[in-house]
Amino acid sequence: MGAGHGHKLHFHGHSAIHRVPAHLKILTLLAFMIVVVATPRDWYAAFAVYALAIAVVIGVSRVPPTYLLKRTVVEVPFVFFAVLLPFVATGPQTEVLGVSVSQHGLEAGIALLVKGTLGVLASLTLAATTEPTELLHGLERLRLPQQLVQIMAFMVRYLDVVTGEMQRMKVARESRGFTARNPRHWPVLARSAGALFIRSYERGERVHLAMLSRGYTGKMPR
């Protein structure tokens, strides 16, 4: 994987966190996530300690907090589900701002939101302080199956390529006066998605053949 293929999540820096070997950071993240998930949902002091630990790591890494916060949009589905839980769960009722909600659902929603936020911030910190190529080499050192590592390597390498292709298709549709406004336009979007899949598959075939012709044996060179 070429050095020029970075990732939008990575923040270039030279802090002590950036210099930690990738496999150690992966193991640390995994251990942290296990501890967070295993923590009882009413241990709020423990969650405060976890949040403080993440804040310290972010501070040492010198990654701007706003850089990470803008990327926490990936957590929106968790937030939606956490907000919905108090209204759909059963059990004893309690009032929050004059609205009757399930007490068990409220506690579960808060726990989901807190644990999800901690997990997202920890994962974003790892992604911001580790080059994609180093992450892949770290997974190799942890003895992850080689095929899985190669799949992830190609995903990282060509994600921007496929995204760019999708953007060009969108521009082409809009230049012809098409704008998706209601479900009646979904068939057009479905055909575009099918065309994108076929183009991506054909590109993958060509890239694979080109790699084989250059001596590819199933393992990417460093």
Structural contact between residues 156 and 5, judged by C-beta atoms closer than 8 angstroms: yes
Burial of 181 (0-12, 13-18, 19+ CB in 10 A): exposed
Q: What pLDDT is attached to residue 7? A: 60
CA distance 136 to 23: 9
Q: What pLDDT is attached to residue 221? A: 62
Please write the tens of the pLDDT for every residue from 38-51.
988 888 899 999 99
151 vs 55: which has the higher pLDDT: 55
Contacts made by residues 18-23, CB under 8 angstroms, sequence distance 24+? 18/61, 18/129, 18/130, 20/129, 21/138, 21/141, 22/130, 22/134, 22/135, 22/137, 22/138, 22/141, 23/137, 23/138, 23/139, 23/141, 23/142
Q: What pLDDT is attached to residue 28? A: 92
Contacts made by residues 154-162, CB under 8 angstroms, sequence distance 24+? 154/204, 156/1, 156/5, 156/7, 156/132, 157/1, 157/2, 157/5, 158/200, 158/203, 158/204, 158/207, 160/5, 161/203, 162/196, 162/200
pLDDT at residue 56 greater than cutoff 90: yes
- Report the chain's mean pLDDT, rounded to a whole number: 82
**51-55, 98-102, 105-109, 146-150: lowest mean pLDDT where?**
98-102
Q: What pLDDT is attached to residue 64? A: 87
The arithmetic mean of pLDDT across residues 186-215, rounded, is: 85
pLDDT at residue 13 greater than cutoff 50: yes
The arithmetic mean of pLDDT across residues 145-149, rounded, is: 81
Q: Which residues contact 219 (CB under 8 A, 6 or more apart)?
A: 146, 150
CA distance 14 to 35: 28
Q: What pLDDT is attached to residue 48? A: 93
CA distance 208 to 140: 21
85 vs 54: which has the higher pLDDT: 54
The arithmetic mean of pLDDT across residues 192-205, rounded, is: 86
pLDDT at residue 53 greater than cutoff 80: yes
Q: What pLDDT is attached to residue 134? A: 85
Please write the tens of the pLDDT for every residue from 21-38.
889 999 999 999 999 999
The arithmetic mean of pLDDT across residues 94-101, rounded, is: 74
User: For the chain, what percent of residues have pLDDT higher than 70?
Assistant: 94
